[in-house]
């Protein structure tokens, strides 16, 4: 049985247990995960016994290449995708149909509901995402490649970083080097925060230049084979004056964040509640006096999306399982001074965990002493 056939079989089992007559998979990444089709503008209808890819003539040849044995319904130019879905639903005589709520807008849902007469169309979430949370060997290999590309891009950016570069230019450099290293693109718009702007966990890139402060935060990743990586590191700015007061304060919070991350990673393993992992980092940061300065979740799953299950945070009920890949990214953010975040990607293994990222993270790695 192929990987995609096994995934479809697992989803069909969940559809039967729901119970639903069918689930309409609408998110492009979920359609790809289930079928191998790498295009977009297509839906996948999964019943307990059949799977039908609903697409259009633009993708006929691509579908034959990506998933040649898959049953399809190819609409002509005289119908839109929603009309094609309604046609398939009517032909199969379906009555209770779930649709991925995260894959359609409210307007699209209402359009489908109006077209699918005498059908109970209901929003559903998490069916495919639950399967995606646990990666198979091919996915883990893709994530390793994505991480490798991201790390090569970071090394190249660091080697060519100039004092006069702006945050935006640094982000552009990372994008360029990701592609040069073999990536499809960056996993998300890189985050580059110079000086006190590093206290903004998710800032937009500005014209602030590297030379305007002593240090910077870089959060970046790569997409390779549709899979995403996500890392964060701190750097001394090239040519920085390294003022003693600044270095002392930065080192203090960096040491706290690094220890918090180390403790959280040590807690990772199958069967462990993410609340326990979050508390390992958050509790240490709070005990150090910076509890109010750690303002976001500890981490998240990565894969076909940059943020996916499981959610590693204090308000999540997720439990770790072997095959999950998560980020661990504690941070401390001090307004008018700066912030520190350290982020690595970690695989949950049957016996514990494996850190997949290899960029050094000790204090000395920020720059030459």
Q: Which of 115, 132, 149 is the last residue of a domain?
A: 132
3-state secondary structure of 100: strand
Taking only the tens place, the pLDDT of each residue in 161-214 is 999 999 999 999 999 999 999 999 999 999 999 999 999 998 899 999 999 999
Alpha-carbon span 346 to 357, nearest angstrom? 7
Domain termination residue (choose one: 74, 98, 132) = 132
Give the residue-averaged pLDDT of 338-365: 98
When pLDDT is averaged across residues 87-116 and rounded to a whole number, the result is 96
Same domain (yes/no): 271, 329: yes
What average pLDDT does this structure show over 74-97? 95
Question: Residue 337 and residue 317: Cα distance in Å, rounded?
Answer: 35
Strands 96-100 and 22-25: parallel
The pTM score is 0.95
CATH classification of the domain holding 25: 3.40.350.10
Q: For 331-360, what is the mean pLDDT?
A: 98
pLDDT of residue 368: 52
101: enclosing H helix or E strand: none
Q: How many domains does the chain have?
A: 2
Q: Which of 36-40, 153-157, 313-317 has the weakest average pLDDT?
A: 36-40
Residues 306 and 292 grouped into a single domain: yes
pLDDT at 255 over 90: yes
Taking only the tens place, the pLDDT of each residue in 207-249 is 999 999 999 999 999 999 999 999 999 999 998 887 788 999 9
Same domain for 96 and 175: no
Sequence-separated (6 or more) residues with CB below 8 Å from residue 33: 7, 128, 131, 132, 304
Q: Which of 69, 100, 132 is the last residue of a domain?
A: 132
- Tokens representing 328 are 């661990």
**DSSP character at residue 362:** S
Contact indicator for 357, 155 with CB cutoff of 8 Å: no
- Tell me which of 367 and 227 has the higher pLDDT: 227
Stretch 284-303: mean pLDDT: 98
pLDDT tens for 40-78 read 889 999 999 999 999 999 999 999 999 999 999 999 888
> Using N-to-C axis directions, what is the helix angle for 167-180 and 137-160, rounded to 10°?
130
**pLDDT interval class at 33 (50, 70, 90):** very high
78 and 198 inside one domain: no
Q: Looking at the structure, do residues 339 and 203 belong to the same domain, yes or no?
A: yes
| Predicted local distance difference test score (pLDDT) of residue 367 | 87
pLDDT value for 285: 98
CA distance 351 to 327: 18
| Separation in Å, CA 345 to CA 221, 231, 329, 357 | 11, 7, 9, 6
Return the pLDDT at 369.
38
Check residues 69 and 284 and name the one with the higher pLDDT: 284
Q: Domain range spanning residue 219?
A: 137-366
Residue 279 binned pLDDT confidence (cut-offs 50, 70, 90): very high
Cα–Cα nearest to 31, from 128, 134, 109, 137: 128
Half-sphere exposure of 151 (CA within 13 A, CB side): 15
**209 and 295 share one domain:** yes
Question: Buried b vs exposed e over 326-360: b needs ≥16 C-beta within 10 Å?
Answer: bbbbbbbbbeeebbbbbbbbbbbeeebbeebbebe
241 and 118 within one domain: no
User: 208 and 79 in one domain?
Assistant: no
Q: Is the pLDDT of residue 342 over 70?
A: yes
What is the average pLDDT across 136-148? 98
The verdict on 295 and 189 lying in the same domain is: yes
Q: In terms of domains, do 155 and 123 share one?
A: no
Hey, what are 226's tokens? Answer: 């549709």
CB 59 within 8 A of CB 42: yes
User: What's the rounded mean pLDDT across residues 82-108?
Assistant: 96
Q: For the domain that residue 349 is a member of, what is the CATH number?
A: 3.90.230.10
State the chain's mean pLDDT as an integer: 96
167 near 192, Cβ under 8 Å? yes
Task: Answer whether 185's CB lies under 8 Å from 225's CB.
Answer: no
Angstrom distance (rounded) from CA 309 to CA 81: 29
Instruction: Specify whether 311 is located in the same domain as 342.
Output: yes
17 and 51 fall within a common domain:
yes
β-partners of residue 24 are 45, 99
């Amino acid at each position: 049985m192929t990987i995609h056939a096994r995934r479809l079989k697992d989803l069909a089992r969940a559809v039967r247990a729901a119970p639903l007559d069918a689930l309409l998979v609408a998110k492009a990444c979920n359609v790809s995960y289930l079928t191998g089709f790498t295009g977009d503008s297509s839906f996948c209808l999964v019943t307990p016994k059949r799977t039908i890819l609903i697409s259009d003539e633009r993708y006929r040849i691509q579908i034959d290449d990506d998933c040649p044995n898959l049953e399809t319904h190819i609409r002509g130019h005289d119908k839109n995708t929603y009309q094609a879905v309604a046609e398939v639903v009517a032909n199969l005589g379906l009555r209770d149909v779930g649709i991925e709520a995260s894959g359609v807008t409210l307007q699209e849902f209402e359009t489908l509901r109006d077209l699918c007469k005498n059908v109970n169309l209901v929003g559903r979430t998490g069916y495919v995402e639950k399967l995606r949370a646990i990666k198979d060997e091919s996915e883990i290999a893709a994530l390793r490649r994505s991480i490798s590309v991201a790390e090569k891009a970071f090394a190249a950016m660091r080697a060519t970083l100039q004092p006069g570069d702006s945050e935006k230019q640094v982000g552009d450099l990372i994008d360029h080097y990701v592609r040069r290293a073999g990536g499809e693109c960056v996993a998300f718009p890189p985050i580059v925060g110079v000086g006190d702007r590093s206290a903004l966990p998710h800032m937009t890139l500005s014209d602030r230049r590297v030379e305007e402060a002593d240090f910077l935060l870089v959060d970046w990743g790569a997409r390779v084979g549709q899979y995403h990586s996500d890392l964060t590191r701190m750097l001394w700015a090239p040519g920085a004056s390294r003022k003693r007061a600044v270095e002392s304060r930065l080192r203090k919070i960096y040491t706290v964040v690094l220890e918090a991350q180390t403790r959280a990673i040590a807690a990772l393993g199958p069967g462990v509640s993410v609340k326990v992992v979050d508390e390992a980092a958050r509790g240490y940061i709070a005990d150090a006096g910076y509890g109010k300065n750690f303002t976001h979740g500890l981490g998240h799953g990565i894969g076909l999306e940059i943020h996916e299950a499981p959610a590693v945070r204090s308000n999540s009920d997720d439990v770790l399982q072997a095959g999950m890949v998560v980020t661990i990214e504690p941070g401390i953010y001090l307004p008018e001074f700066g912030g520190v975040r350290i982020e690595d990607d970690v695989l949950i293994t049957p016996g514990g965990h494996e850190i997949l990222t290899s960029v050094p993270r000790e204090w000395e790695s920020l720059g030459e002493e």
